[in-house]
Structure formats: C-alpha cells, structure tokens
C-alpha cells in the first residue's frame, strides 16, 4: 500500500499548470502517487508538446496525467465568465474521475485533493466526498490577503459592493510591508480593454471563490516568508513553501525551443536582455514596434520569447539567425534554464508570479511591464519592496516608447546596487528552500500531516 494518492487540480492556465506540476514533482519525491488533472484541450496540448524523456520522467515519478471533459466554451470569454463556467462544468467531471479511480484502485484511493486557489469549489467537493482538501495559491500571498480582505474594504467604504473604488482612497495598503496598490490596478480592475461589466463579473467570482477556500485543511502558497513577511503574518494559516523551481518542465502547452540555450552559450556573461510576457499577453502592433525599435537602440544582444500572434512579425523584424547573430527570437523558451544562464543580464517581464520566482531565484534583475490582474501588485514588490528592478514610464497615449525602453535598460544595467540586491535575494531563496530553511520546513510539515 502506498503512503497516499493525491489528485492535483490546476486552473487551465500555463502558469498554474507549471506551478502545480512543480509541486507534484516535490510530492512524488516523498513517495506520493499523483494524479494530475487537466481539461481535455489542455491535456492534449501538454502531451503533444512534451518530449519523450519528459513523459518517461513523469511515469518514473509516479505522476499520471489524466483529463476531464472540457465543456468550457472558452472562445471569446473574459476571465470572470470563464471562471464561472469552470465552476459549473468541472466539478462533475472531477467527481466522476475520483469515483472511477477509487472503484478500480483498491487500497490506492484518492486521499487528498490539492487544487489551484481559484478553484474553491474543489474544497466543497473534497468535503462532500470525505477526503482531505488543500488549496495551493500559485500567486503572491499579498493577492490572497487582498481578496480575503474584500469584506473589510467594503465595510470601510473603500470599495462598493461590486468592487469599484469609492474614491475614498486612491491606494490601498493592507498593512506596512505590503505594497500599496492603486485602486485602478486591483486584480479584478486591471484588465485589458477595461469593461465595467467584466470587472464586476470577475470581482464577484473572486470574492465568492474565497468562501469555499475556507473549507481547506491547509492553504499553501508558492512564496517564501522572507519575500512577503507582512502578507503571511496577516493570515498565519497560509503556509509559504516556495519558491518551488523543479527544472524539468513537463507541463508546457507549447514545445520549448531549446536552440536559445546554445545561442546563450555564445554570448558574453551578463550581456543578454531576456524578454517574455508569458503565455497570454499580446502587444498591439504599435507597442510591439516601439519595443522592437527600443531593443535595437540598446545595441545589446537579446533573447525574445514572442507570443504566437506576433512571432512572424518578430522574425521579419529580426531576420538574422546566423551563427554570430546578436538577437534570438523564439516562440516559447525553456525559461527556468534561460534565467539560470550566466549570459542573462536582465529580464523584461510582465511580472507574473511564476516568472518572478524563477528570476529572483537566479539573481536576475527586472524591467517591469505589468499588463493585467495581479501583475501590478507584483511589480510593486519588485520595485518598491525588494528594489531589484525598474518600471517603464508610458507616454500620454499609454505606449512605452522606444527611447524609454533603451533608457531603462541602460539605467538598470548600470545600477550596481540593484544587481547586488538581486544576488542577495537569490541567496535568501536558496537558503529558505534548502534543508533547514523556513520554506523547506513548512513543506516537510505538510508532508508529515498528509502521511498520517
């Protein structure tokens, strides 16, 4: 008989799948059997993008990839509507999956559901089925704290019942040590092409989602106490166990282009600008052109992981793929390996939490380009609290101009104190995740509980 069988349930998004796959690999090292659940579309994408050695590695680790029917109709849906549809369609598929596994598995029944923090309904399902439930927060603890504080913000008249600012204050700070955030940049308000009706839908989903989360036996977070002491202190039940940075990326939706690693090998140490806005962001043509021209103005080598909608435009803009080329354009990069490479000098990033944890764990400073959701709060951590990066200023039309790109690259790379702080933060992350570190102790305490 095994020591436990855990069903891991990520939100159908690349960063969430990455975060929970890393968690799963850590759990597998402790002897747990893992059933990793995706919707059919995501499951097929992962399997088709995964190299053979990746699938063998999963099987050897006792991690099994399975799928449930999609039924999501995601085309054209905004974030709030998509989450609402997921909360209606996914629970039935997950429940049937668990029943099927338990009926055929003998003494290896599912003993625990570990679900992404936006899938609060999974805790109601765990409760209903009489098994343990754990929420895994893939983003900053400050985001969790903010969402849990919404009732108080409404009570104090800072937000109205639909999440809109009452203009009583322009910036919200939950406590000293947690970055203040402008009310226009709250996660449910900071959306592309802002639409009040969509903001309202997303706000109500987020606030309703927090209630079933309270049913969880544990709240885990992919952060470290040393990164967010004030946020963790607000909710002591939230256990920081990160950053988890398993390098074997076996949950990618697209095939990684590893040719960029050999290209990096040919570059001088600490010389390359790495640019990636994640799997969702899409720069409009004007902004794309300004960024491209700004990168040219730096006269520095750069590696750009460009979203699929702009990949042809990028390759036309930077066609040189010769041996000595100082630019490299890829569709999807093996980011953890890129950020660990000694040639990388800085990271122009959308400030998604997964990207942040990867970069700070490798001592890479940031140029921050947040676009939506929690990314503005994350930027505040980077620039205001940790002081390991700089932000870009926008022109009156909202565009970051080419001259601003070139100027900020030079400011960052000539700032020795930012580089020094980034390297100090790297050492802090190594210590907290090493044996005896705070994150390592927290993770081991969770494992001991689950083995009981």
Q: Mean pLDDT, the chain, as a whole number?
A: 90
Residue 48 pLDDT more than 50? Answer: yes
Q: Report how far Cα 323 is from the mean position of its chain's Cα atoms.
A: 34
Q: What is the pLDDT of residues 336-352, one digit of tens each?
A: 999 999 999 999 999 99
| HEC profile of 41-98 | HHHHHHHHHCCHHHHHHHHHCCEEEEEECCCCCCCCCCHHHHHHHHHHHHHHHHHHHH
DSSP-derived secondary structure letter, 272: E
Instruction: Name residues whose C-beta falls within 8 Å of residue 271's C-beta, 6 or more positions apart in sequence.
Output: 300, 301, 343, 345
Q: What is the pLDDT of residues 384-403, one digit of tens each?
A: 999 999 999 999 898 999 99
Determine the pLDDT at residue 104. 83
9: helix, coil or strand? Answer: strand
Q: Considering only CA atoms, which of 244, 297, 264 is closest in space to residue 408?
A: 297
Q: What is the pLDDT of residues 373-387, one digit of tens each?
A: 999 999 999 999 999
Q: Considering only CA atoms, which of 137, 128, 130 is closest in space to residue 11?
A: 137
Tell me the domains of the chain and their CATH numbers: 5-248+433-451 (3.40.50.2000), 259-414 (3.40.50.2000)
Q: How far apart are CA 206 and CA 162, in angstroms?
A: 11
Length of the chain: 452
Per-residue CA distances from 346 to 278, 299, 356, 359, 408 (Å): 16, 14, 12, 9, 11
Determine the pLDDT at residue 59. 75
């Amino acid at each position: 008989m095994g020591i436990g069988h855990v069903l891991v349930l990520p939100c159908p998004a690349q960063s969430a799948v990455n975060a929970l796959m890393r968690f799963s690999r850590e759990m597998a090292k402790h002897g747990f059997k893992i059933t990793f659940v995706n919707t059919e579309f995501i499951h097929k994408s992962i399997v088709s993008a995964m190299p053979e050695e990746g699938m063998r590695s999963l099987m050897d680790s006792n991690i099994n990839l399975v799928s449930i029917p999609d039924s999501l109709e995601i085309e054209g849906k905004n974030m709030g509507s998509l989450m609402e549809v997921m909360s209606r369609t996914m629970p039935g598929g997950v429940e049937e999956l668990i029943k099927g596994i338990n009926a055929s598995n003998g003494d290896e029944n599912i003993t625990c559901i570990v679900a992404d923090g936006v899938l609060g309904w999974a805790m109601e399902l765990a409760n209903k089925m009489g098994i343990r439930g754990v929420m895994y927060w893939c983003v900053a603890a400050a985001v969790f704290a903010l969402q849990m504080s919404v009732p108080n913000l409404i009570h104090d008249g800072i937000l109205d019942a639909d999440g809109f600012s009452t203009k009583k204050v322009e910036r919200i700070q939950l406590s000293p040590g947690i970055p203040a955030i402008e009310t226009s940049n709250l996660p449910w308000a900071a959306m592309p092409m802002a639409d009040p009706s969509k903001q309202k839908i997303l706000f109500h989903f987020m606030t309703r989602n927090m209630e079933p989360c309270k049913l969880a036996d544990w709240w885990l977070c992919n952060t470290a106490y040393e990164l967010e002491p004030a946020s963790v202190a607000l909710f002591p039940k939230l256990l920081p166990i990160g950053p988890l940075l398993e390098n074997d990326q076996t949950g990618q939706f697209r095939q990684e282009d590893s040719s960029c690693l050999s290209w990096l090998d040919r570059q001088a140490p600490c010389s390359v600008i790495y640019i990636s806005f994640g799997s969702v962001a899409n720069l409009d043509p004007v902004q794309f052109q300004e960024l491209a021209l700004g990168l040219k103005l730096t006269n520095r080598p750069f590696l750009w992981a460009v979203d699929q909608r702009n990949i042809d435009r990028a390759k036309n803009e930077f066609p040189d793929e010769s041996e000595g080329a100082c630019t490299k354009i890829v569709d999807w990069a093996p980011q953890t390996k890129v950020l660990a490479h000694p040639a990388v000098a800085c990271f122009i990033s959308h400030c998604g939490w997964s990207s942040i944890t990867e970069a700070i764990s490798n001592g890479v400073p940031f140029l921050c380009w947040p676009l939506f959701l929690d990314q503005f709060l994350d930027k505040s951590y980077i620039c205001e609290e940790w002081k390991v990066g700089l932000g870009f200023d926008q022109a009156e039309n909202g565009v970051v101009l080419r001259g601003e790109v070139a100027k900020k690259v030079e400011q960052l790379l000539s700032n020795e104190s930012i580089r020094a702080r980034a390297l100090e933060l790297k050492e802090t992350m190594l210590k907290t995740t090493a044996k005896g570190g705070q994150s390592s102790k927290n993770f081991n305490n969770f494992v001991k509980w689950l083995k009981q």
